[in-house]
Amino acid sequence: MITFTLVIPQSAVLWTGTRSVVYVKLPESKEPSFVVREITIGPALSNNYVVLNGLMEGEEIVTNGTFSDVFYKTLKSFGLMGKTVFYQFCPMMNDGKGAYWLSETKDIHNPYYGEAMLTCGETKETLKY
């Protein structure tokens, strides 16, 4: 019996603290519309992640630009209901262009490279609401 594993690009995953989410396209929508969905990821495979739960084969997702400037500016404008979050940066992701994530803790727990580079990165901004 052959089993298939669902794999998505690392660039599709948006990190919000300990959660990993993706933007999933709503198939019934006439205009491009997306919903944020939490997923469970497994091991990294080169520039991809194995998806363990939360996404089904055939669903369309955003694969680039998931942590956009628009999202960041919206977050800064509206906040997170009394929470403090840390806007953190990994300089090595995306072929040296870097990538951001949100964390609930000040300590760096780089979501992009697993145990190999868990503390690589820096806090760029502390957002207090």
In the predicted model, what is the mean pLDDT of residues 31-48?
A: 83
Instruction: Spell out a b/e string for 25-38, using b for 16 or more CB atoms within 10 Å of the CB, else e.
Output: eeeeeeeeeeeeee
Q: Which residue has the higher pLDDT, 85 or 113?
A: 85
In the predicted model, what is the mean pLDDT of residues 79-105?
A: 80
Domains present along the chain, CATH in parentheses? 1-65 (2.40.420.20), 67-129 (no CATH)
C-alpha 7/C-alpha 78 separation (Å) is 33
Give the pLDDT of residue 87: 87
Give the H/E segment covering residue 42. strand 34-45
Tokens 């999202």 belong to: 71
Token code pair at residue 10: 């690392």
In the predicted model, what is the mean pLDDT of residues 43-62?
A: 90
Helix (H, G, I), strand (E, B) or coil at 50: strand
